[in-house]
Amino acid sequence: MLCDQPLVTCSVISCIVEAHQRTRASIVALQYAGSLGVPALFTHAHFAELRALNSTEGAKKMIH
User: What residue ranges in 1-63 does DSSP mark as E strands?
Assistant: 27-32, 35-42
Task: Report yes or no on 40 lying in a domain.
Answer: yes
Task: Report yes or no on 33 lying in a domain.
Answer: yes
**C-alpha–C-alpha distance, residues 42 and 3, integer Å:** 17
Task: Report yes or no on 45 lying in a domain.
Answer: yes
**Structural domain of residue 21, as residue ranges?**
10-63
The predicted-structure confidence for 3-61, as pLDDT tens digits, reads as follows 898 889 999 999 999 999 999 999 999 998 889 989 999 999 999 999 999 878 889 88
Q: Burial level of 29, CB count in 10 A (0-12/13-18/19+)?
A: buried
